[in-house]
Structure 1
Amino acid sequence: MRIYLDDERTTPEGWTRAYWPDEVIKLLKAGGVEEISLDHDLGDDERGTGYDVVLWVEEAVALHGFVPPRMRVHSANSSAREKMEAGIRSIERLSAEKSKP
């Protein structure tokens, strides 16, 4: 499954649409997610942003051995994009360290 988190853009063909971080996290917990593409600004910061998904994945990798899917950011918010991409790089480093024998 490929998950597309966004509140406005058209969902690309072959992707499952999610509008809120909790929806993405629920799907990640269930398993079978190969890739996620994240927007940051979802229209209601009280319900969360795409960065909340990055933080959840980072914690799950660090503390629970979660194997993350491929992750990308499609947000137009440049400062948030940089923050999210830095988080994804951290996840990739953590995941690589955890997979070493």
Structure 2
Amino acid sequence: LNFSQNKYEFKGTKEEKSSMIRTDRLPTTTDVIRSDLDSRDLYRNQMQTSLDDSKAEYLYIKKESGGDVSNTDISELIGILTDAQVAIDKWFGFIATEDVKLALDAVQKEIEL
């Protein structure tokens, strides 16, 4: 589903849509909004967990290597940081481009004062 404040668009097949209409199973606008908010929460939680995990992994590597990480396998840390980046990108992806522009304009006006 794609959602806007005025309508949402179902992205399934024509047959799926017809079946959902016949059985009165199309989601309501409230369902779509709730799903969107749940997705935001999940990505935020994933981001926070990944950042906490990366800090713990970094401290573990630092402790185990005695500070010399030149010969240390950091692939686990890189994987955790990659997961964090994906979650962050998806979380910020929920913010409309126009909202970002308005926020940047407001900050710029504050700086100019």
TM-score by length of 1: 0.28
Structure with bigger helix share is: 2
Structure with bigger strand share is: 1
